[in-house]
Amino acid sequence: MNKTLTTTALASLMTLGAQTGALTAEPLKIGIIESLSGAQTSTGRLYASGIHYGVERINAAGGFNGEPIEVVEYDNAGGATEAADKFRQAAADGVHIVIQGSSSAIAGQITADVRKHNLRNPGEEILYMNLGAEAMELTGDKCHFYHFRFTTTAPMRVNALTAAMAEAGELGGKVYAMNQNYSWGQDMEAAIKAAADQGGYEVVDAVLHDVNKIQDFAPFVARIKAAEPDTVITGNWSNDLLLLMKATGDAGLDVRFGTTYLDQPGNISNAGDTALGHYIANGYVNVPEVSEFAEAFKSESGDYPVFVEPQGAFALGALDEALKTLDFGGGEVDVTQVALALEGASYESPVGTITVRPEDHQTIRPVVVSKVVEGAAFPVDGTDMGFELIKIVPAEDAIYPVQDSCDMQRPG
């Protein structure tokens, strides 16, 4: 286990202690259960970076309940079994909120563990902030009161992506679906097929492949080439997308990609010029110098926010708004009250308002569609390429109905 109390938090803790002479208030404790080693480290570390940024800002403004928020990191090593072990450790450490983003499979384990813990330990509930796990089941048949999803879902991304590409005349009539074979990838494939009629395209082939086990995507690229699609839509992320982009570039495959995680550092350089014209649908405008948030992030961390860092920062911004409505008088932290406040929080992100839908705790948020261009205003990966904003789909247009399978039991 890797435990980290942030430097600023520790300094603030010491200052408050000196001022009051005694530490009687219960600090809010956050546990980051993330992929901090193994193949998904590049993603897990960026989620953690965004979380730390958000916590630092809350602590700089005085913390919560008279104390700085404490942060502890737990490395799940990219596995559900390890995540379950780390959740038990976090619960034993007295963590109030667990946060995770990488992998819907791991999220499925954590949300089940949180639910069981809360049923067995009334009055000692733990809240789960899900930053990046987009499997529909998490707000469907696995939904529960203490799970909150601070990201989009497959239908939100696919609908925004196909609509924007069609409007730009760059979707075409033949689409190839390529995704990872687990809940998130299966949701992506279903969303791609479901959007076909509205998008005016035919799905010419659909492939689900093993997650994080494929070292050479050349055979998959050959299969894409044989199907002759106009566009490949993929929900691949982290190492699988990095290697897919590399194989695409090596093969010189001339096909447009519609993606969800192309902004991960390294993807553009791996693909080279092949990346030009590719699209991405996500929750943040990848042209950071135009954002006050991006400048603030850079002034504190030294770099503009990239990839999933904004999701962490925005989620902590929403938590901050919720905490401002609560006053525990320096006593014990009531997690159920934090959850109720989070339901009513409204956070103004650089791309629009983010709110929580009380019925299933899915955030209602805009979806941003961008395109890779040459001579970008903000070049990435040491290239002259970067992202150009195509369209921001408003939150009210991006959201989808609550799933019938969600039967949320509310407290009290």
What is the per-residue pLDDT for 9? 46
d(CA 207, CA 314): 33
Alpha helices in 151-273 (DSSP H): 154-167, 183-194, 196-199, 218-227, 238-251, 267-271
Query: pTM (2 decimals)?
Result: 0.89
Look up tokens 């938090």; give the residue.
9
Cα 146 from Cα 411, distance rounded (Å):
10
Alpha carbon distance 45, 337 (integer Å):
29
DSSP 190: H
Which SS3 state, helix, strand or coil, does residue 67 take?
A: strand
| Residue-level pLDDT at 110 | 98
| Predicted confidence pLDDT, tens digits, the chain (412 residues) | 334 444 444 444 444 444 444 457 899 999 999 999 987 888 899 999 999 999 999 999 999 999 999 999 999 999 999 999 999 999 999 999 999 999 899 999 999 999 999 999 999 999 999 999 999 999 999 999 999 999 999 999 999 999 999 999 999 999 999 999 998 999 999 999 999 999 999 999 999 999 888 999 999 999 999 999 999 999 998 788 888 988 988 898 889 999 999 998 988 988 888 889 999 999 998 776 667 899 999 999 998 899 999 999 999 999 999 999 999 999 999 999 999 999 999 999 999 999 999 999 999 999 999 999 999 888 999 999 999 999 999 999 999 999 999 999 999 7
66 CB contacts (<8 Å, ≥6 apart)?
16, 20, 25, 330
Whether 172 and 205 have beta carbons less than 8 Å apart is answered as no
pLDDT at 202: 98
SS3 208: strand
Q: Give the strand order in the sheet containing 147-149.
A: 70-75, 29-34, 97-100, 127-130, 147-149
Report H helices in 31-169: 41-60, 80-92, 104-120, 154-167
